[in-house]
Structures are given as C-alpha cells and as structure tokens.
Amino acid sequence: MLKNIKLIATSLICIFFASAGVQAQSWPNKPITLVVPTAPGGTTDFSARLVAESMSKTLGVPVLVDNKPGGSGNIGNQFVARSKPDGYTLLVSYSGYHVGNPHLFKQAGWDPIRDFAPVGMMTVAPQVIAINPKLPINNLKELISYAKKNPGKLNYASSGSGSIQHIAGELFKQQTGTFITHIPYRGSGPAVQDLIGGQVDMFITTPAGVVSQIQAGSLRGLAVTGKKRLGALPQMPTTDEAGLPNYELDSWFAMFAPAGTNPEIIQKLNLALGSALNSPEARTRADGAGTTIQTMTPAELGDFTRKELDRWGKVIQTSKMTID
C-alpha cells in the first residue's frame, strides 16, 4: 500500500513538471498585460510604455498596459499578486510602493518578497523639485525662505501616501525646518495636472512626468535630487548646487511576475525586457525624459529588492513617517 502511494506521488510530481515544461514551451500564446499601479502620466506608466511595443514584437503577442491606480499602489500590486502565475499578468512596480508600502501599511494586502517573482530592472530616476510658476519663488533658497516665513501656507503633492514623493516631501521638511501640507493623489499624472492648475504648489517627482512642462514654462523646476544635472534640463541645478546638500533621492522601476511563475517563462521575459531596454529608441526616449535605463537579471533584482526593503525601512522609521 505504502509502495503504491509513493508510486502515485512520484507520478504526480513527474506529471506536474512535464506540464510546467510544456507550458513554458508554448508560452506565450495570448496577450500579456503589464499592470501599472498608478494613473497614466508618471514614470511608472512611462517605463511600462517604453518597453511594451518592443516586447510585443520580440514575444510575438500583444503586450498591453493596464493602469490600476489607487490605494497608494496597493490595488494594482494586490491584483498581480493574486493573479495566475502563468506569465500573462505582470507588474511594473515603483520603488516607493514596492519597498515603502510594506513599512507603512499594516495590511497592504501583498508582500514584496513572498508574492512576486523578479523579472528585471527597467529604469532609475532622480526627483525634480517643481513648483507652480505663479508662486513668487525662483530658486530653491527662495522656496525654503518662503516656506519658513509662511508655515502651512504651501502644500505639496505626492502620487499617494507612502510614495517616494511623500517620503521626499517629509525629508525636505525635516532638512529645511519647514511645514508644508501633504496632498496625496492617485498617481503622478493627476498631481502634475493640479500643479499646473495651481491647486497644489509643489511636487517632488521623477523627471518623466514634468520635464516637458518645465521646458514649456507650465511648471518651474528648482533642482534635481541626483548627483548630476539632467541632460534634458541642463540649466537646472542639483540640490547640492542649489544649497541643500545631502538631499539625494532616486526612484527605480522594475518588472515582477506573480510568485510561482515558471522560471523558464521568467527568463524569456527577462530577455525580451532587456532587448526592449537596450534598443536605441528606448535609450533616446529615456534620456529625453530624464531617466536612466538599468537592467538586471531576475536574481540580481531579487537581491536588490531585499536590500532596498531594508534601506527604505530604516529611512521611514527615522523620519517617523505615517500614512495620512
């Protein structure tokens, strides 16, 4: 009896792995969806659309972008975490949500390590401190001075509570000794529109969402939070040059699949993603948007995510930041 049970168990395991192998060989045979947990218009959305068409040509099936904003990224992340691990539903993740939310929400509804299989890194970007041009402020020192003289009068947008923009705003307040009110949005796109319209005064966000508006004069860029100036906005100083040293913040954007996705499918996705990112067209578009393309293997992204989860956990704890 025991021998028969062992034979049955062995047969089932063999059938499982054989089935998984067949699935990987036949994949993909239908459209693939890239879920973006923000509204259109920000760098997460930009990163997804940067690779979708090229990946579609490489894989031979449509690669679609599906924006699922809300819940500070938790709605989109939950959706992918609970999706079938068959390689057809993927997450284009944003560092503020992926490694920030687990430290900010008691019940985010997903786990960045347990619920996702890393596919590959996509882009990295600093932040730009942008304001509505109607404000009587022309540079970063004037912004700090104005905020100190008018506590509570200014407000700043974010793409959601717990996002990097939220963290950036709180760190800005701590380092400058100012009080500026936080206004959370359901993504960078709506925040930028309200910044242009004057409903909010300030937004610290990735360049892709604001470069064209700064170039057109719809917004005023005061500084970039990286170590060097942006090629797309060479006249804009770094925060160090503008008088706020040690205020450096980068965001990253990466692709993940639901945990349990076949490793062969993950590898095929990584190769298609790398091919898309390394194309001259993608690099030109990324440079123009103030972002840097960066690739990683699934294993490298997994290690990187764990380190970032620990790093941002310490930043959030030190800043004593809480969800509004």
| Residue scoring higher pLDDT (32 or 315) | 32
Q: Where are the beta strands (DSSP E) in the chain?
A: 32-36, 63-67, 89-94, 116-126, 128-131, 155-158, 181-184, 202-205, 220-224, 250-258, 292-293
Q: Which tokens belong to 228? A: 């060097």
Do 148 and 201 fall into the same domain? Answer: yes
Reply yes or no on whether the pLDDT at 8 is more than 60.
no
- Write out the residue range of the structural domain in which residue 271 sits: 30-124+252-319
191 within some domain = yes
Same domain for 117 and 132?
Answer: no
Structural domains counted in the chain: 2
**Cα atoms found within 13 Å of the Cα of residue 99, Cβ hemisphere only:** 22
Give the pLDDT band (50/70/90) at residue 322: low
206 and 257 belong to one structural domain: no
Which CATH number fits the domain that encloses residue 203?
3.40.190.10
Q: Which residues are CB-contacts of 231 (< 8 A; sequence separation ≥ 6)? A: 287, 290
Contacts of 112 by beta carbon, 8 Å cutoff, 6+ apart: 98, 99, 102, 305, 309
145 and 194 part of one domain = yes
**Is the CB of residue 76 less than 8 Å from the CB of residue 68?**
yes
Would 247 be classed as within a structural domain? no
Mean pLDDT throughout 179-204?
94
CA distance linking residue 97 with residue 106, whole number of Å: 14
Residue 144 shares a structural domain with residue 94: no
Q: Which range (115-119, 234-238, 264-268, 286-290) has the least confidence?
A: 286-290
> Where residue 182 falls among pLDDT bands split at 50, 70, 90?
very high
Across the chain, mean pLDDT equals 91
pLDDT for 282:
96
Determine which of 21-30, 49-58, 82-91, 95-104 has the lowest per-residue pLDDT on average. 21-30
Q: Which amino acid is at 34?
A: L
Q: Is the predicted pLDDT of residue 10 greater than 60, yes or no?
A: no
Region of residue 8 (phi > 0: left; psi between -120 and 50: alpha; otherwise: beta): alpha
Most confident of 47-56, 168-177, 205-214: 47-56
CATH no. for residue 97?
3.40.190.150
Reported as a pLDDT band with limits 50, 70 and 90, residue 164 is: confident
Distance of CA 185 to the CA centre of its chain: 15
Residues in Cβ contact with 243 at an 8 Å cutoff, skipping those fewer than 6 apart: 140, 141, 144
Q: What pLDDT was estimated at residue 315?
A: 79
Positive or negative: CA dihedral 124, 165, 172, 139: positive
Is 244 within the bounds of a domain?
no
- Of 200, 201, 219, 202, the C-alpha closest to 210 is 219
- Same domain? For 140 and 120 the reply is no
Per-residue model confidence (pLDDT) at position 215: 95
Structural domain contains residue 16: no
In a domain, 230, yes or no: no
State the CB neighbour count (10 A cutoff) for residue 184.
Answer: 17
Q: Are residues 109 and 256 both part of a single domain?
A: yes
Most confident of 20-29, 136-145, 243-252: 136-145
Q: Where does the pLDDT of residue 51 fall: very low under 50, low under 70, confident under 90, or very high at 90 and above?
A: very high
Q: In percent, how much of the chain has pLDDT > 90?
A: 73
Return the closest-CA partner of residue 261 out of 121, 115, 51: 115
- Provide, rounded to the nearest whole percent, the portion of the chain with pLDDT above 70: 92
